[in-house]
Structure 1
Amino acid sequence: MGNTIVKNQVEEVKNFLEKTVSELEQFLNETTLSGLEKELPGDKEYYKVILSHIRKLLVHCEEGLDACKVIMNSEPFSKGAAEKILYRIYHQCIEEFFSPKNDVWYEDSRSAYTGKNSIKMRSEVPDSISAVLKSLEGDFQRIREELEYYETDYRTKMIQSK
């Protein structure tokens, strides 16, 4: 891929991460465990794990955003460094959104055929949690499709280097 294409992708991902960070910060700044329990009395431990994962996702997105800003401001533009950053963002942000390590929620692969949201919670959750995930999902899906190339490209390079 040419420098221009990669640079445009970094810019697009930077814009996506700015929006994502803003939405996650707003949600976390306004959300408390006691507030979630008032909204929907339920499994307090499950709510804690959800909030913890959303905080981790926010940190990964902030780190990715910082990396995008650095690479966009560097002269000359380093295509190799940019591709490495995009690969890292794909794994730390995109994959973590759709398939969190602690299985707080999961992606319903059949949703692509039904036109519904693909993120499914393990248990019932307050509407505020569902709303923030639904508001972010479309952009995460779009960026995942954009960055899947880096996953495939990286694996190909690893196989060829053996």
Structure 2
Amino acid sequence: MGNSLVQTQLIDVKEFLIQTVTVLENFLNETTISQLNVSNDEEHTYIKMIFSNLRKLAVYSEEGLEACSVILQSEPFQKPAAEKTLYKIYHQCIEEFFSPKNDAWYEDSRSAYTGKNSIKFYHSVPESISKLVKSLEADFQRIREELEYYETDYRTKMIQSK
């Protein structure tokens, strides 16, 4: 893949991460579990797990944003570093959004065929959390489709270099 294409993708991902960090930070800075009127201990534990995952996603996105900024400022453009960063963003941000390690929610792959949102929660959640995840999903899906190439390409390069 040419330098200009990788550089363009890195710029696009950087803009996506800026928006994602802003949305997540605004939500996390303005919302507390106690504000959500959680009714029982089980629901409280589940919402706490969701918040934990959102904080992790915010940190991963900030780290990815910083990496994109550093690479875009370097001269000459470092294509291998950019590809490695895009691969890392795919795994840390995109995959964590669609399939969090702590199982806060899951992706219903059948939803792609129905045109509905694919993120499903295991239990009912407050409307503010549902709206937040829905507001992020389309951009995460778009970036996932753009970065899937790096998933296979980077792995292939790593296997061939051994």
Task: Give the TM-score taking structure 1 as reference length.
Answer: 0.96
Q: 1:41 aligns with which of 39, 42, 48?
A: 39
Structure 2: which amino acid aligns with 1:75?
Answer: E
Q: Could you say which residue in structure 2 is the equivalent of 1:23?
A: 23
Aligned counterpart, 1:156: 156
Q: Any stretches of 5+ residues in structure 2 without a counterpart?
A: none
Amino acid in the other structure paired with 1:106: Y
Task: Give unmatched runs, 5+ long, in structure 1.
Answer: none
Amino acid at match of 2:160: Q
2:103 is paired with a residue whose SS is coil
* 4+ runs deviating over 4 angstroms: none
AA of the residue aligned to 1:41: S
Which amino acid in structure 2 is aligned with residue 27 of structure 1? F
SS in 1 for 2:63: helix
Q: Is contact 2:84-2:154 (8 Å) kept?
A: no
Alignment RMSD: 1.0
> Structure 1, residues 102-129: CA drift from partner, whole Å, max 9, x if none?
1110000001111000000010000000
Using the alignment, how far apart are the partners of 1:92 and 1:117 within structure 2? 21
Aligned counterparts, 1:40-79, within 5 A: 41-42=39-40, 43-79=43-79
Deviations 1:91-147 (A, max 9, x none): 000000000001110000001111000000010000000000000000000000000
Distance in structure 2 (CA, Å) of the matches to 1:149 and 1:41? 44
Q: How many residues get paired?
A: 160
Percent of residue pairs identical: 70
- Residue 144 of structure 1 corresponds to which residue in structure 2? 144
Q: Counterpart of 2:118 in structure 1: which amino acid? A: S
What's the counterpart of residue 107 of structure 1?
A: 107
Q: Deviations over 1:23-51 (max 9, x none)?
A: 00110011101012x2x535101111100
Is the partner of 1:100 in helix, strand or coil?
A: coil
Could you tell me the TM-score, scaled by structure 2's length? 0.96
